[in-house]
Chains A and B, each alone.
Chain A
Amino acid sequence: GAVVSQHPSRVICKSGTSVKIECRSLDFQATTMFWYRQFPKQSLMLMATSNEGSKATYEQGVEKDKFLINHASLTLSTLTVTSAHPEDSSFYICSARDWDTSSYEQYFGPGTRLTVT
């Protein structure tokens, strides 16, 4: 149980275009999902917390107009990188929390490698 998927696993896009990344909880309902960014050999940096049916809460320094987050259902959250630039190239990882179990555990997706050329 507690499986989180991400799609796509890898994406290459041209500078100026937008890219959408999907995060799904496959066997549980996730009222809260999280989006992280990870640079090579570094730890995970929380970008935003996404609650189903409401606006995402962004961490300080993260541009909400550039990284659009939508959490329209209990099993799906999307991150759209708008007007992508090469500096947006990174490893993006989503995670989800299973509220039904009342646990504090957070389960991660396999990540999406974004390369902006």
Chain B
Amino acid sequence: GQQLNQSPQSMFIQEGEDVSMNCTSSSIFNTWLWYKQDPGEGPVLLIALYKAGELTSNGRLTAQFGITRKDSFLNISASIPSDVGIYFCAGLRDGGSNYKLTFGKGTLLTVNP
């Protein structure tokens, strides 16, 4: 099925650095969700965005819903070792009977202590 363009595919950073990743699409989404997945676990919801231009924070995480509704980014400030994992964006067009999330391919984050 269709997937979102998520970049970068992987990142290797030092502890304390800031991180930015983004998702883009050729079509409009009405909701953006960001998830983190640890190895061998299910994804955990980090942030949900519902309005174009919306900027939402969750601790050291900040995500924005692009004005065009075709993109979203996630920033992590002052990274720590437990930030390691795979981050997925997910877009939703229809919240009704045709509800279906479209996922990005993920960004693998490695944090060196």
Contact = CB atoms under 8 A, between A and B. Distances in A.
Interface of A: 4, 6, 32, 34, 41-46, 49, 59-60, 91, 93, 95, 97, 103-111, 113
8 contacts: A41-B108, A43-B103, A43-B105, A60-B1, A93-B42, A95-B42, A104-B48, A109-B42
Interface stretch (B13-21, B61-69, B73-81, B92-100): B92-100
Contact of B1 (A45, A105, A109): A45
Given A104-B99, A106-B33, A44 B43 contact: yes
Given A104-B92, A105-B33, A42 B105 contact: yes
B59 interface: no
A111 B106 contact: no
- Interface band, chain B: 20 to 34
Given A46-B1, A113-B40, A105 B99 contact: no
Contacts, number: 57
Given A43-B106, A104-B92, 16 more contacts: A6-B42, A34-B101, A42-B105, A43-B105, A44-B43, A44-B88, A44-B103, A46-B101, A91-B40, A105-B45, A105-B48, A106-B45, A108-B43, A108-B44, A110-B41, A113-B40
A110 B105 contact: no
Interface string B35-54: 10000111111001010000
A111 to B, nearest CB: 5
A4 B41 CA distance: 12
Contacts of A41: 108
Main secondary structure of the interface of A (DSSP, over half): strand
Contacts of A111: 40-42
* Residue from A4, A41, A49, A59 having most chain B Cβ neighbours under 10 A: A41
A114 B51 CA distance: 38
Contacts of B22: none
Contact of B100 (A6, A49, A91, A113): A49
Contacts of B95: 104
Contacts of A104: 31, 33, 48, 50, 92, 95, 99
Shortest Cβ-Cβ A-B pairs, 9 listed: A108-B42, A104-B95, A111-B42, A108-B43, A110-B42, A104-B31, A43-B105, A43-B103, A93-B42
